[in-house]
Chains A and B, each alone.
Chain A
């Protein structure tokens, strides 16, 4: 998408100084003037977007959005003609810009679909040998409205199984997936890969064709609310311990690990992690997160598991492609993490 940027800023592109020139403390004046000009143009253009319903069809219907934003009638009469014309022109310009972006994204989408079908048919040699060694845990975030489409979810899980993924964590913010998969998840705890699964009732082992894949379903309530519950646990155990010490003479045994000599609470990340584990909201940290939805948002995926996860956007669930998953895995295998170093 860098080439479309040039179209947008084509007038001003040659005016933008090379980054090394900006290395002085005082910004060149022309950049500030340019900024002010763009402020006047763009601020109006872009701020009117709040009142629009921006579905793609609306672009074709075009100018009606501008009129939807019109002020009350008595103010309307007071507005002068030139300013009205300016506003209409700016609104039109904004619509044209977004239309151009939509067309470009449509083109790139078509190219991407072509690439995916090539990958699926095995013609592109670099995607043939997938190295999944580093990918131990995979997570998928699905938009809750799309999550009701069980056919697609099952197909996705089947593809992942054939690719050899061992552990999949499905997430959606409203808990739709949990409800859909929960009936089949009774007492399948024999294949727990680790201690953290013991307290969780969300695991289901999918056993098929000698390839076993563990599926976990979590929802928004395991995210922020899970942290609130863990905080509650830590807090109440501290406060109860405190009131206990007030009843009796303070002895050495009553001082817990999270309290220091002055009886001040100090909770560390490790304390939170073990609290989360004890309420059943802990789980393995995914290496890769695939987001299925119109926009790349993680929609509240549990914080303690999202720290170093690579997040990749796959588009809406209804247009998911096998080739896209292969490409995502390939891109993941090329990534290198420093973990802060």
Chain B
């Protein structure tokens, strides 16, 4: 049974177009589908769920659409804060990953409040990536790591008797595990499955660092049409690929 499933929620606008409804409503239906999928996953025992809600590239969209999306997010986050949403019953810990400073002020504050209020929950871990880019996550991790090293060095210099700086002699080279610690996903296992709906085959800069051994799936239904049977099918497909993936993971661990 997979522990961590990641969703790229693609196809809301195409869904709205095909049903001749407004784009904003397409996104709302997409949100409802998200809540439903969360509950199904929780019932099946999947502990970690990550979704790609908004990409840094999406800011290039039409400003009115971006505004609608931000308002929708603010509305839904406030619903969660006021305990009116169905997922409040599942004792969910909610994370927001991404460069939160790029969000408008009310959305950012609401998101931070929600993260703080659910930080102690021990049930499902639900991570929303917005606004997120895998490459900027890595750049951010490098920055954090550099700051950490600098602080370490300054600490060493302060405690040393001589006045000359240590010139980084005590610091070892940066390793992959150092960077892992500073990613937004530190503490979460790597995704077992990455599902991108609407049949598109690319990852669009989502969790590229963490998906080395993830089973990538791209079912044809659009995101608002993604339902329970698609999820079960996805898990069954993952189970068929599981021996191969585990073999590769073991080989990679042996080489380290």
Contact = CB atoms under 8 A, between A and B. Distances in A.
Interface of A: 1-2, 4-6, 8-9, 12-13, 16, 19-20, 22-27, 31-32, 34-36, 38-39, 42-43, 46-47, 49-50, 53-55, 97-98, 101-102, 105, 143-144, 173-174, 220, 223-225, 227-232, 234-236, 238-240, 242-243, 246-247, 264-269, 271-272, 293-300, 303-304, 306-313, 335, 337, 339-341
B33 A22 contact: yes
Interface string B54-78: 0111111100000000000000000
A9 B230 CA distance: 10
Which interface residue of B147, B149, B150, B217 has the most chain A CB atoms within 10 A?
A: B150
B208 A307 contact: yes
A269 B209 contact: no
B244 to A, nearest CB: 5
B252 interface: yes
B23 interface: no
B235 A46 contact: yes
Contact of A16 (B1, B229, B242, B243): B229
B216 A231 contact: no
5 contacts: A23-B29, A231-B174, A265-B143, A267-B139, A268-B139
A31 B33 CA distance: 13
Contacts of A223: 212
B36 A22 contact: yes
B60 A340 contact: yes
Which interface residue of A1, A5, A335 has the most chain B CB atoms within 10 A?
A: A5
B: contact size bracket: 35 or more
- B contact face: mostly helix, strand, loop, or mixed: helix
Contact of A19 (B33, B213, B248): B33
B130 interface: no
Contact of A297 (B59, B149, B214, B227): B214
Nearest to A232: B174
Interface of B: 1, 28-29, 32-33, 35-36, 39-40, 43-45, 55-61, 79, 84-86, 133-136, 138-139, 141-143, 145-147, 149-150, 153, 164-168, 171, 173-176, 178-179, 200-205, 208-209, 211-217, 220, 224-225, 227-230, 232-233, 235-236, 239-245, 248, 251-252, 255
Which interface residue of A35, A102, A308, A312 has the most chain B CB atoms within 10 A?
A: A35
Given A22-B32, A312-B201, A340-B204, A269 B230 contact: no
A25 to B, nearest CB: 6
- A contact face: mostly helix, strand, loop, or mixed: helix
Contacts of A231: 141-142, 145-146, 174, 179
A97 B61 CA distance: 44
Contact of B220 (A2, A22, A35, A313): A2
Contacts of B255: 174
A101 B236 contact: yes
Nearest to B136: A269
Given A22-B36, A235-B174, A98 B229 contact: no
A38 B85 contact: no
A304 B137 CA distance: 12
Given A272-B135, A297-B248, A306 B142 contact: no
A224 B217 contact: no
B146 A265 contact: yes
Contact of A47 (B40, B45, B55, B224): B45
